[in-house]
Amino acid sequence: MTDTTAPGKLRLLRRRILWLAAALAVLAAAVLLSLTVGSRGIPLGETVAALLHGGDTTNAVVVRELRVPRTVVGLAVGAALGPAGTVMQGITRNPIADPGILGVSQGAAAGVVVAISAFGVTSLTGYVWFGFAGAALAAVLVHTLAGRGRGGATPVKLALAGAAMSAFIASLNTLVLTTDAATMDQFRFWQVGSLSGRTADVAWQLLPFLLAGLLLVFAVARGLDALALGEDTAKGLGARTGLVRATGALGATVLTGSAVAAAGPVAFVGLAVPHAARALVGADHRWVLTLSAVLGPALLLLADALGRVLFPPSEVPAGVMTALVGVPVLVVLVRRRTVVAA
Give the integer Cα–Cα distance in Å for 205 and 218. 21
In a domain, residue 26? The reply is yes
In a domain, residue 252? The reply is yes
- Percent of the chain past pLDDT 70, that is, above it, reads 95
330: pLDDT strictly greater than 60: yes
Angle, CA 126 vertex, CA 125 and CA 132 arms, to 5°: 95
Give the integer Cα–Cα distance in Å for 37 and 32. 8
With contact defined as beta carbons under 8 Å apart, do 138 and 106 qualify?
A: yes
In a domain, residue 342? The reply is no
Bond preceding residue 265 cis, omega within 30 of 0? no
Give the integer Cα–Cα distance in Å for 110 and 23. 35
Per-residue model confidence (pLDDT) at position 247? 94
In a domain, residue 3? The reply is no
List of residues 6+ apart from 201 with CB closer than 8 A: 125
Asked whether the whole model's pTM tops 0.85, one would answer yes
Q: Where are the alpha helices (DSSP H) in the chain?
A: 6-36, 44-53, 58-61, 68-92, 104-119, 124-147, 155-179, 181-191, 200-219, 221-227, 231-236, 241-263, 269-281, 285-309, 318-336
In a domain, residue 89? The reply is yes
Give the integer Cα–Cα distance in Å for 293 and 290. 5
Give the integer Cα–Cα distance in Å for 122 and 142. 29
Angle, CA 324 vertex, CA 32 and CA 67 arms, to 5°: 25
The crossing angle, in degrees rounded to 10, of helices 155-179 and 104-119 is 30
Domain count, the chain: 1
Range picked from 64-68, 181-185, 313-317 for highest mean pLDDT: 64-68
Domain of residue 35, CATH code = 1.10.3470.10
Range picked from 21-25, 117-121, 157-161, 263-267 for highest mean pLDDT: 21-25
For the segment 136-149, the average pLDDT, to the nearest whole number, is 87
Kindly write down the DSSP assignment for every residue of 118-168, as one continuous string: HH---SHHHHHHHHHHHHHHHHHHHHHHHHSSTT-S-HHHHHHHHHHHHHH
In a domain, residue 1? The reply is no
208: pLDDT strictly greater than 70: yes
For the segment 129-137, the average pLDDT, to the nearest whole number, is 89
Per-residue model confidence (pLDDT) at position 3? 59
* pLDDT tens per residue across span 96-115: 788 878 888 899 899 999 99
* pLDDT tens per residue across span 260-304: 888 988 888 998 899 999 999 999 999 999 999 999 999 999 999
231: pLDDT strictly greater than 90: no
Give the single-character DSSP code of 322.
Answer: H
Per-residue model confidence (pLDDT) at position 1? 45
* pLDDT tens per residue across span 5-49: 677 789 999 999 999 999 999 999 999 999 999 878 899 999 999
In a domain, residue 9? The reply is no
In a domain, residue 341? The reply is no
Per-residue model confidence (pLDDT) at position 71? 96
| Residue-number span of the structural domain to which 322 is assigned | 15-336
Per-residue model confidence (pLDDT) at position 141? 92
> Residue 236 — pLDDT band, cuts 50, 70, 90?
confident
